[in-house]
Amino acid sequence: PSVANVAFLLTDASTLDMEAVLNVVQTMKDDAGLTKKSFTVVAVGEIDDEVSEATYPYAVADLLSSSDGTGGDAAPPSMDYSTTIPQANSGAAATTAGTSIPADATYSREESFRLVATCLGLECGRNKALAFAAVDNVNATSYKLVKGLREAGYGWDQELQFMVDGGAKNYDQAVEEYKARHPEEERVMMSADEKLEEAIADAMARQQAENEEALRRMETKAAIDSEFLLEMSEESITAGDWA
């Protein structure tokens, strides 16, 4: 039997470079550059057996988002982490060339397995190479979002889809748009929790609208393809072109 979906878990990936990721991706493509198998790559720091899953919020970045696919040098995508759990050095966290994972970062073994399994089943993880890092900086956007989603009762798959689909970026954009709509500074009267809830709601509504539009385009294309095949079949029958 053939394999249609493949998942990779890359551990101790703080030294991972973009070229290595692209080499893995290339094995999933044919000579024409088309994807033969659906793949998901999850990269984390050094495995930690002592930390249970969901102990800390996380930041996530798409390792392929800054690459043009040619294998040339590309700056690693940004990751909103500030401080990771734990740090071998007491100084500020630093990323190594070609990766978004901070040097000396560690990650829960339990959660890393759950990440790769969940991403494999989500459309947002399809043909993606994702880097995850634990976060304990309470002022980091990723920390606020993951903590807020968990406290609001969202499921693991909903949380992960939101974060992978640009949750932190969409949140920051929603905050800026809200400020533009309310120049009278009424936000000063809102509590921190209310601000977070409204920004998350705006970001999720935008994400939902984008997903619905993508689905509508896919359904339209499928209908056009089906109609074309039907017309071709009718023409063959009329012409007496029997198989």
Comparing C-alpha atoms, which of 5, 9, 114, 15 is closest to residue 55? 114
| Whole-number pLDDT of residue 233 | 64
Mean pLDDT rounded to a whole number for the chain: 76
Q: Give the whole-angstrom CA distance, residue 162 versus residue 160.
A: 5
| Whole-number pLDDT of residue 60 | 92
Give the rounded percent of residues in the chain with a pLDDT score beyond 70: 67
Q: Give the whole-angstrom CA distance, residue 24 versus residue 27.
A: 6
Mean pLDDT of 124-144: 90
The pLDDT tens digits of the residues spanning 49-107 come to 999 999 999 999 887 765 433 333 334 455 654 444 443 333 334 544 445 788 888 99
Q: Give the whole-angstrom CA distance, residue 172 versus residue 177.
A: 9
Mean pLDDT of 15-38: 70
Of residues 47 and 93, which shows the higher confidence score? 47
Dihedral sign, Cα of residue 69, residue 75, residue 79, residue 84: positive
The pLDDT tens digits of the residues spanning 218-238 come to 888 777 767 766 666 666 655
For residue 127, the SS3 value is coil
Q: Give the whole-angstrom CA distance, residue 190 versus residue 147.
A: 19
